[in-house]
Copies of this chain bind each other. A is one copy, B any other.
Amino acid sequence: MRILLVEDESQLLNAYVKGLKQDGYAIDTASDGASAVELCEINTYDLVVLDINLPKLNGIEVLKQVRTLNKSVKIIIVSANRSIEQRIEGLDLGANDYLTKPFDFQELRARIRALLRRDFISQPKVLSINDFNIDLNLHQITYQGKMILLTLKEYTILTYLIQNRERIISSEELLEKCWNDEADPFSEAMRVHIYALRKKIQEATQRDDVIQTVKGVGYRFNP
């Protein structure tokens, strides 16, 4: 899942980035409205967190343009201004949720998860598929109760494959959803992660068909 954070207070921004990366999202950032819109023209985000009080381009205007560019992206508006009017206007213009500053980071986290949930097969914080058990809180994946120790990137990839296990995921999509802007599209890094993942999964499950390769198409989680 890929998220764009638009926020001009850089300190706040950094905190969000870190927190959300830990949840396995690929994060891009913009600190003003113009570059936010630019990024949305280039990339396809699943969700945008948009601070309404922005330099250069008014937040409401950014909201309109982003929504025009991408009808399905989820947008969470953040604002220090608690006037109800603005709140309504924001939702009318196509925002999906609204948060008033200051808010607890856990609150943001919960709402993001809630909004992205619809795209997933399963919604809760813990999903069980056959002998696999994924705890989204603990970043923990177990097989028959046995823990599979994964790095952050491995966890991100596997979670994405699992949450979209009804489809075959192309390398391009995996790259797009699990890496951010700076990722080199020609890099082989992803394959190395897949390899490491398979190794760890094989060790834990004695199976080596859990991540299937569909040549020329992509990868697929096979529970």
Contacts and interface: CB of A to CB of B under 8 A. Distances in A.
A210 interface: no
A70 B105 contact: no
Contacts of A172: 15, 18-19, 105
Copies of the polypeptide in the assembly: 2
Contact of A100 (B43, B69, B138, B166): B69
A107 B101 CA distance: 32
A222 to B, nearest CB: 11
A11 B185 contact: yes
A145 interface: no
A171 to B, nearest CB: 8
Contacts of A137: 166-168
Nearest to A22: B217
A94 interface: no
A189 interface: no
Nearest to A39: B102
B105 A176 contact: yes
Interface of A: 11, 15, 18-19, 21-22, 40-44, 68-70, 72, 80, 82, 100-107, 137-139, 151-152, 166-168, 170, 172-173, 176, 185, 214-218, 220
12 contacts: A18-B170, A19-B170, A19-B173, A69-B82, A105-B173, A138-B166, A139-B214, A151-B215, A151-B216, A152-B215, A152-B216, A152-B217
The 6 nearest A-B residue pairs measured at CB: A152-B216, A22-B217, A44-B102, A44-B104, A137-B167, A15-B172
